[in-house]
Structure 1
Amino acid sequence: MKYDVKKAFDFIDEKESEMKQLWIDLCKKESQSADIEGVNNAIAFLDENLKKFGMTTKIHKFSVGANSITAWYPTESTELEMALLGHLDTVHKKGLFGEEIVKIDEKEGIIYGPGVLDCKGGVVVASLVARALHHIGYDKVVKLAFSGDEEVGHSLSNGEGKKFFLDELKGFKAAMDCETGFVDGRIVVGRKGTTNYKITIKGRAAHSGNEPQKGISAIREGAYKTINIEKENDYNGIHYNVGVIEGGTSRNTIPEMCTLTVNVRFRKLKDLEKIEAFLKEMTETSFVPGTTATIEKLSLSDPMEENEKNHKLFEHVKNVSEELGFGTPYSCYLGGGSDAAYSVALGIPTICGMGVKGYENHSLRERAVINSLVERAKLIVKSILTLPESF
């Protein structure tokens, strides 16, 4: 069936002001990952608006942590064409942006605020795409799936947030994660996974002036472990970062305790075996005689493994972008993770970074380009409408 692309684009233009206001209002619903009430309020607000648009929605509640949400337009078709992903939680604690949470610079065409880029702007893009497709009678299934604890790797939902995606995305032909978009046009075809560990080191306390020879410094051991762990770094492969060191009780006491929090980035799930064997060896090795140590795994976010299917989808979107005069995107691989990992794990061709374009997410300078809302919606709509049947 041939669909009217111009009619879809006209609808997007017509709804631009309305969806821009939704973008603003959604970002005003502050929702840092650990603020369960705040995240749930943002999801409830989105749920209310999606229902107004005529969509069927489902709020997914877990045993712990914030909710997630799916939405779609009912159709008689069983063809699962496209899943559009995103998340409602942000890294910004409530109140950091002051009383005027969201600011607009109309002259520069920029919107500032928590989550305007990462990734509530992308959530609004996906919602506008679904509306435009429904408006022209598109009858295949396009599902929106938005998480409530993406920024913390679903650790606050004890992994139930990960299972949410694995359950909801099964069978889809393709997927796009409407995560942070980039002003230079790049589109993400792969991302590293992330895992975190805590190494706890025990030594022996002693007065650093009267009898230092009786002490065994846990901090000194921590320094040796840090140096030896980070010697193994391969920025293109497995990368270790001892990001937090804590220890000691006072400046005149040989420190009895020290903890290292180690963040590890990796390309493939099979890398985990190598990572854990190495960190176990480092934990059990005492560089300072008399120290002991234990290790605890804190969290795991799967990698979005780069593959030919992802590149094929990217090439399709790149061609559409050129046809529309939106420029020539290029493919990239990033060290930061996203929920695109789970659609890839299901064997679904996936690209990421398809949300609004902007700058400096995860900072108080987070901002997005306002007109990229319409551009990205049109790019995704035409990419879906022209996706080959045999893709």
Structure 2
Amino acid sequence: MKYNLEKAFKFIEENEKEMQQVWIDLCKIESPSIDTEGVNQAVEFLGEKLNGYGMETKIHKFSQGPNSITAYFNNGSTEKEMAILGHLDTVHKKGLFGEEVVKVDIENDMIYGPGVLDCKGGVIVGTLVARALNSIGYDKMIKLAFSGDEEVGHRYTLGEGKQFFLDELKGFKACIDCETGFVDGRVVVGRKGTTNFKIAIRGKAAHSGNEPQNGISAIKEAAYKTINIEKNNDFNSIHYNVGVIEGGTSQNTIPEFCTLTVNVRFRKLSDLEKIKNFLTEITNTSFVEGTTAEITQISLSDPMEQTEKNIKLFEILKKNSEELGFGTPYSCYLGGGSDAAHSVTLGIPTLCGMGVKGYENHTIRERAVLSSLVERAKLIVKTILTLPENFEGEN
């Protein structure tokens, strides 16, 4: 079936102002990952808007932590074409942006505020895409799937937030994650995974002036472990960062306890065994005689592995971007994770970083380019409409 692309584009242009206002209103609802009530309020607000557009929505509740949401236009089709991902939690503490949470600078084409770029702007892109396709009678399934605790790797939902994606994305031909977009034209085809470990070290306390010879310094042991962990870094493969060290009781006491929190970035799930073996070896090695240590894995976020399927999807999007006059994007591989990992795990061709474009997410200077909402929506719509029936990336 041939669809009217120009009509879809006209819908996007005619609804730009309305969707900008939804973008603003959604970002005014401050929703840091740790604030379940705030995230759920954002989910409910969005759900009401999506219902108003005629979409069928479902709010997904978990054993604990914030909710997630899915939505689609029920056109009777069971043909799963594209899933569009995003998240409604942010990293900013409530109140950090002051009383005027969101600021709009029309003259400079900018919007400022928590989550305007990462990732509520992307949520609005996905919503506009689904609406535009529905307006031209698109008869395949486009599903929106938006998380409530992406920024913390679904830690607050005890991993159920990850399973949410694995369940909801099965069977789709392709997937686009409307995460933070980049003004330089980058499109993400791969991301490193993240895992965190805590190493708890025990020594022996003693008075540092009267009997230092009787003490065994856990902090000294931590220093040796830190040096030996970070000597093993390969920034193109597995990268270790001892990011937090906690220990000691006073300046005149040989420290009996110390903990290291180690953040690890890696490219493939198969790297995990190597990582665990290495850190276990470091943990079990006493550089300072008399110390002992234990290791605990405290979190895991899967990598978005770069695949040939992702590259094939990127080439389609790249061609469409050039034809639309939006420039020539280039593919990239990033160190930070996203929920695109889960669609790739399912074997689905996936692109990430396709939300609104902007600058300095995760900072109080977070801002996005207003006009990129329309540009990204048009590019994704055209990419969906030009996916071949026999798309080679099909899972």
Amino acid of the residue matched to residue 199 of structure 1?
I
Task: Report the Cα offset of residue 92 of structure 1.
Answer: 0.5
Over 6 Å off, 4+ runs:
none
Alignment partner of 1:285 is 2:279: no
Task: Report the Cα offset of residue 207 of structure 1.
Answer: 1.0
SS in 2 for 1:151: helix
For the residues of structure 2 that align with 1:77 and 1:44, how far apart are their CA atoms?
A: 26
**Could you tell me the TM-score, scaled by structure 2's length?**
0.98
- Provide the residue aligned with 2:295 in structure 1: 295
Amino acid of the residue matched to residue 99 of structure 2?
E
Q: C-alpha deviations, 1:209-259, integer Å up to 9, x for none?
A: 111111111011000000000000000000000000010011111111100
For the residues of structure 2 that align with 1:258 and 1:103, how far apart are their CA atoms?
A: 44
Q: C-alpha deviations, 1:127-164, integer Å up to 9, x for none?
A: 00000000010010000000000000011111000000
Q: C-alpha deviations, 1:313-335, integer Å up to 9, x for none?
A: 00000000000000000000000
Amino acid of the residue matched to residue 216 of structure 1?
I
- Provide the residue aligned with 1:377 in structure 2: 377
Q: Could you tell which deviates more after superposition, 71-80 or 323-332?
A: 71-80
Alignment partner of 1:45 is 2:39: no
Amino acid of the residue matched to residue 372 of structure 1?
S
- Provide the residue aligned with 1:320 in structure 2: 320
- Provide the residue aligned with 2:36 in structure 1: 36
Task: Report the Cα offset of residue 281 of structure 1.
Answer: 0.4
Task: Report the Cα offset of residue 370 of structure 1.
Answer: 0.5
For the residues of structure 1 that align with 2:77 and 2:98, how far apart are their CA atoms?
A: 47
Segments of 5+ residues of structure 2 without an aligned counterpart are none
Amino acid of the residue matched to residue 186 of structure 1?
R
- Provide the residue aligned with 1:24 in structure 2: 24
SS in 1 for 2:276: helix
For the residues of structure 2 that align with 1:224 and 1:316, how far apart are their CA atoms?
A: 50
Task: Report the Cα offset of residue 85 of structure 1.
Answer: 0.2
Task: Report the Cα offset of residue 76 of structure 1.
Answer: 1.7
Segments of 5+ residues of structure 1 without an aligned counterpart are none
- Provide the residue aligned with 2:307 in structure 1: 307
Q: C-alpha deviations, 1:166-209, integer Å up to 9, x for none?
A: 00000000000000000000100000000000000011111111
Q: C-alpha deviations, 1:265-286, integer Å up to 9, x for none?
A: 0000000000000000000000
Alignment partner of 1:152 is 2:152: yes
Q: C-alpha deviations, 1:333-369, integer Å up to 9, x for none?
A: 0000000000000010000000000011111111100
For the residues of structure 1 that align with 2:291 and 2:99, how far apart are their CA atoms?
A: 50
Amino acid of the residue matched to residue 181 of structure 2?
G
**Could you tell me the TM-score, scaled by structure 1's length?**
0.99
Aligned sequence identity (%): 76
Amino acid of the residue matched to residue 286 of structure 1?
S
For the residues of structure 2 that align with 1:242 and 1:206, how far apart are their CA atoms?
A: 26
For the residues of structure 1 that align with 2:252 and 2:27, how far apart are their CA atoms?
A: 48
Aligned length: 391
Task: Report the Cα offset of residue 297 of structure 1.
Answer: 0.6
Task: Report the Cα offset of residue 105 of structure 1.
Answer: 1.5
The correspondence of residues 43-82 of structure 1 with structure 2, limited to 5 A, is: 43-82=43-82
SS in 1 for 2:194: strand
For the residues of structure 1 that align with 2:108 and 2:207, how far apart are their CA atoms?
A: 61
SS in 1 for 2:244: strand
Amino acid of the residue matched to residue 103 of structure 2?
K
Task: Report the Cα offset of residue 123 of structure 1.
Answer: 0.2
- Provide the residue aligned with 2:205 in structure 1: 205
- Cα RMSD of the aligned pairs, angstroms, is 0.5
Task: Report the Cα offset of residue 298 of structure 1.
Answer: 0.6
Amino acid of the residue matched to residue 264 of structure 1?
V
For the residues of structure 1 that align with 2:108 and 2:261, how far apart are their CA atoms?
A: 41
Task: Report the Cα offset of residue 67 of structure 1.
Answer: 0.5
